[in-house]
Structure 1
């Protein structure tokens, strides 16, 4: 006695396709978000360093650098997780040929991971970038 199995291959193909496609789609979303974080920190570090070393007054330099980094963080929606650190190689920071290192860091949250899994899985990926900017050699000190 033979059974009619017409259509069962289509059902199996659809089920396997969905089971294999869902993790692949999630991986693409996750990698796209991490790449956005990498673009953000690279731009934030570069622009913050540029804003810092082109400032006329030392007190304004920090505010200008933070504003430039904030614009970069807002651009890719990392305003809540983005941080900026600035380090100088001497004092004052804005002396001719002075070097200023800016480091931008974001924590990229993994999409669709519930908070109760925090103990078992990391819920975010840290991404950072550094930039060393040099103050103009012919800068006139105020």
Structure 2
């Protein structure tokens, strides 16, 4: 009879912990998944910013070198860069700078260096924290566009 009572006591002692493994698993899963999801979101925004800067520099260089006059070239470059920034969700935050290796810029085989900069804010950070600690990552890209060798005189 003592074995029957011992078995009953063991069963009652084990029944007090039934379901605790599920609670522990859910707690640990949430504890591990929240930072992982935030990391994936942050890396996604950084990748979008890098692509926006790269595409803006490349497209602005192409638009500048294919313009017929220098008066319209800078406007075309700005428009192409703003489309690239807007495409990745960085409209109005990107900057573009152009520099030529000589005068005039649109001479045959002239080189135009285009640099684009975009600042990527880290996701889900409140604005009051941004005032205290810089929580933005600046990304830049540079592209050198060459004017066509057989281009006619501007």
Give SS of 2:144's match.
Answer: strand
The match for 2:31 is: 19
Mean alpha-carbon deviation: is it higher for 24-33 or for 119-128? 119-128
Q: TM-score, normalised by structure 1?
A: 0.94
The match for 2:4 is: none
Q: Please state how far the C-alpha of 1:122 moved relative to its aligned partner.
A: 2.6
Number of aligned positions between the proteins: 142
Q: Please state how far the C-alpha of 1:80 moved relative to its aligned partner.
A: 2.2
Q: Which 4+ stretches in 1 moved above 3 angstroms?
A: none
1:50 and 2:30 equivalent?
Answer: no
Distance across 2 between alignment mates of 1:71 and 1:81: 12
The question of whether the paired residues in 2 share the 8 Å contact of 1:115 and 1:123 is answered with no
The question of whether the paired residues in 1 share the 8 Å contact of 2:82 and 2:92 is answered with no
The match for 2:145 is: 133
Distance across 2 between alignment mates of 1:130 and 1:113: 29
Pick the structure with greater CA Rg: 2
Q: TM-score, normalised by structure 2?
A: 0.87
The question of whether the paired residues in 1 share the 8 Å contact of 2:119 and 2:138 is answered with yes
Give SS of 1:140's match.
Answer: coil
The match for 1:115 is: 127
Deviations 1:19-47 (A, max 9, x none): 11000000001101110111111111111
The question of whether the paired residues in 2 share the 8 Å contact of 1:93 and 1:99 is answered with yes
CA RMSD of aligned residues (A): 1.4
